[in-house]
Chains A and B, each alone.
Chain A
Amino acid sequence: QKEVEQDPGPLSVPEGAIVSLNCTYSNSAFQYFMWYRQYSRKGPELLMYTYSSGNKEDGRFTAQVDKSSKYISLFIRDSQPSDSATYLCAMRLNNAGNMLTFGGGTRLMVKP
């Protein structure tokens, strides 16, 4: 079993829809949680970062962390065709090591 599980999709939604992307993880020691967006043939870019449990909102994006359930989510409101990409969740421990553990990514397609 992988440390971080993420449905690979693809997830296809119409423009304007609310998108929900999720990851589950097994290591309760993870403290920092991130969402990256990766366009085809590009490197991942950081979208959202959250420490411990709670919600964080940035424009159309909301990240949620539920440590008790070992479950994190990314919501995208009013989805746009330009949101079509692969979304990767990532997390790391609260120590000096900074390597990230990634989910496999969910491919999202927003159709006009």
Chain B
Amino acid sequence: GAGVSQSPSNKVTEKGKDVELRCDPISGHTALYWYRQSLGQGLEFLIYFQGNSAPDKSGLPSDRFSAERTGGSVSTLTIQRTQQEDSAVYLCASSFRLAQETQYFGPGTRLLVL
């Protein structure tokens, strides 16, 4: 079956603009996670969703970052008023259930803020 998909693959934007990044998890997976990977850095947790529960937003770096998950499936990560330090690869992962250790990652969206 299809894996986790993300769009766009690459995004170049100007400082101050808003961007939206999309994630389509594996069908049937109830848990969805967003991570950020900066050059030379490991993956940094941003937010996760589990079913209809309130998301854990503890990893979001600022209030310019927000995410939603509609219908328990597709998720959108929004970054408002982008800054150059937001440049990174944004990775989405999904798993069958929250306690499942196997998180399947998408290919990521490479964001460059000029």
Enumerate chain A interface residues (CB-CB to B < 8 A).
Answer: 2, 4, 6, 8, 32, 34, 36, 41-46, 49, 88, 90, 92, 96-105
In the complex, which of the residues A2, A46, A98 contacts B48, with contact meaning CB atoms closer than 8 Å? Answer: A98
Q: With A and B bound together, what is the CA distance between A36 and B45 in angstroms?
A: 15
Enumerate chain B interface residues (CB-CB to A < 8 A).
Answer: 4, 31, 33, 35, 40-45, 48, 50, 56, 59, 91, 93, 95, 98-108
In the complex, which of the residues B43, B48, B99 contacts A88, with contact meaning CB atoms closer than 8 Å? Answer: B43
Going nearest first, the 9 A-B pairs with the smallest beta carbon separation are A43-B105, A102-B42, A99-B45, A102-B43, A104-B42, A44-B105, A43-B107, A98-B98, A43-B106
Q: Given A6-B42, A43-B91 in contact, is the A97-B56 Cβ separation under 8 Å?
A: yes
Contacts of A88 in B (CB 8 A): 42-43
B45 and A101 within 8 A (CB): yes
New contact pairs (18) apart from A2-B42, A102-B43, CB-CB < 8 Å: A4-B42, A36-B105, A41-B108, A43-B93, A43-B108, A45-B105, A46-B102, A88-B43, A92-B101, A97-B48, A98-B33, A98-B95, A98-B100, A99-B45, A99-B56, A100-B35, A100-B43, A102-B35
Contacts of A45 in B (CB 8 A): 105
27 interchain pairs, CB-CB under 8 A: A2-B42, A8-B40, A36-B105, A41-B107, A43-B93, A43-B105, A43-B106, A43-B107, A43-B108, A44-B43, A45-B105, A46-B103, A49-B102, A97-B56, A98-B31, A98-B33, A98-B101, A99-B45, A99-B48, A100-B43, A100-B45, A101-B45, A102-B42, A103-B42, A104-B40, A104-B41, A104-B42
Q: With A and B bound together, what is the CA distance between A44 and B56 in angstroms?
A: 22
Contacts of B93 in A (CB 8 A): 43
Contacts of A36 in B (CB 8 A): 105
A44 and B95 within 8 A (CB): no
B4 and A43 within 8 A (CB): yes
Nearest opposing residue in chain B for A51, CB measure: B101
B101 and A49 within 8 A (CB): yes
